[in-house]
Amino acid sequence: MKNRTIFALALITLFTCTLSMFSCTKTEDTAPDGTTLVDTKVSTVVEGSRIRIHFGTSTQNGCMYSFSNCIWIGWETAATSFDRSMALSFNKGEAANQYFGTYFPLTADYVVDATTAKSLGIPEQVIPAGFYPFREFFTGLATGKRMVVFSPEAALKTEKLVNANNPQDNIGQLHNLAVQVILHDHREALQQLRDNKAAMQEFITTKAIQFLAEAELPVEGTAKTRAYALDLSDDYKNPATLLDGASMSDNDKKVLRPIFEAAAAIPVTSPETLGKFVAFMTTHENRLATAKLDDPKMVLSALSVFKYSRYFWFWKAYSTPNPASNVASAAKLPAWVIADVKEWLKNGDLVSTIVASAKVYLERH
């Protein structure tokens, strides 16, 4: 009896081990950055609430929403006033000017409350979202300082981008910040890699993964494997293909298709027409935030990525010394925006859409 029990246990052990060979063993590989990749499980869409970055440009009176991070203080920025309007002064203005270009993007209305107004000696006011030009500091000397004055005369108004009604709004914000940081901080390295597309994509992927890790959103397992193997051979010319290969139900595709078709048809040639596009997208974000969807996070994130990407790339084209020559290419939905949205819909992860956006843009510029 004892021998039969031992034999049975041995069979069970052998059977279990045999199964594990096919179904339980983790597969390992090595990423180009030298780290070990362990294929565990497919990543899911990150909750917008997990993104804890305070987006904006820091002042002693708080942050103003823009494509930067409030913990960065390298520009020595301060809130001040000029001609009864609020202003930002940048002691390291040349560095700020290089980062933002010719226009500071205020992506949400900014309320100058009673306390701030009193400290700056200006009236209480609401500064509307829009593009505000950088200018030399008013000293008459070449100090290297810059100033942004938030006056009605200076404003190129557009619709506010930030939408607290979309619980996935932070997805688009983080996407824009990541792309801006990679293109700005690594511009010299990227320039050297322009003739080697594979090396450039690998470099962008590594920097995107590092950025997300610093944002406490580590890219691991299958998501990391997929990021380094991302296929960006599509020409990304046709907006009608946005939902091709999307990882979502037919019902959710049916919801998004008419929105995407209408959004892609809106020409964006000025801050005013950009505002029309943003208002259109925000209206649908608000509507779908309470709608019955199979995968609300995926749908609302896709809208956020589309809206933020379109805004970001128009601003990049416009915030140059000669915007007219750049804006023409942004009038129709650019390939790099199509790549952004399409890769998000396929994979549902931030690293794919960041890499697609930066790589496709650089290939065409």
Supply the pTM of this predicted model: 0.86
Least confident of 9-23, 92-106, 129-143, 303-317: 9-23
CA distances from 71 to 54, 77, 90, 111, 176 (A): 8, 12, 15, 20, 17
pLDDT band at 249 (very low <50, low <70, confident <90, very high): very high
Is residue 38 scored above 60 in pLDDT? Answer: no
Tell me the backbone φ, ψ of residue 250, rounded to 5 degrees.
-60, -35
* pLDDT given for residue 239 in this prediction: 95
Q: Does 322 share its domain with 201?
A: yes
270 and 136 fall within a common domain: no
Q: Is the pLDDT of residue 1 over 80?
A: no
Q: Identify the burial level of 173 via C-beta atoms within 10 angstroms of its C-beta, where 0-12 means exposed, 13-18 middle and 19 or more buried.
A: buried
pLDDT band for position 34 (50/70/90)?
low
Q: Are residues 153 and 175 in the same domain?
A: no
What's the structural domain count of the chain? 2
For residues 181-204, give the mean pLDDT: 96
Quick one: pLDDT at residue 53?
Answer: 80
DSSP string, 123-168: --EEEPSEEEEEEE-TTSS--S-EEEE--TTT-EE------TTSTT
In the chain, the percentage of residues whose pLDDT exceeds 90 is 70
For residues 184 and 96, membership in a common domain is answered with: no
Same domain, 349 and 274: yes
Residue 207 in domain: yes
- Is 270 found in the same domain as 230? yes
Is the residue at 6 inside a domain?
no
DSSP letters, 40-65, are: -----PPPGGG----EEEEETTEEEE
Residue 7 lies inside a defined structural domain of this protein: no
Beta carbons within 8 Å of 261's beta carbon, 6+ residues apart: 239, 240
Using 50, 70 and 90 to split pLDDT, how confident is the model at 323? confident
**Same-domain check for residues 220 and 317:** yes
For 213-235, what is the mean pLDDT? 91
Q: How many CB atoms lie within 10 A of CB 214?
A: 12
pLDDT value of position 136? 84
pLDDT band at 114 (very low <50, low <70, confident <90, very high): very high
pLDDT at 230 over 50: yes
Domain span at 91:
53-157
Give the range among 8-12, 61-65, 149-153, 255-259 with minimum mean pLDDT: 8-12
149 found inside a domain? yes
Assigned domain for 163 exists: no
Residues 140 and 179 in one domain: no
pLDDT category of residue 330 using cuts at 50, 70 and 90: low
Looking at residue 33, its pLDDT comes to 56
Same domain, 123 and 257: no
Same domain for 177 and 147: no
> Is residue 10 one of the residues assigned to a domain?
no
108 domain-assigned: yes
| Section 84-104 average pLDDT | 93
Q: How confident is the model at residue 31 (pLDDT cuts 50, 70, 90)?
A: low
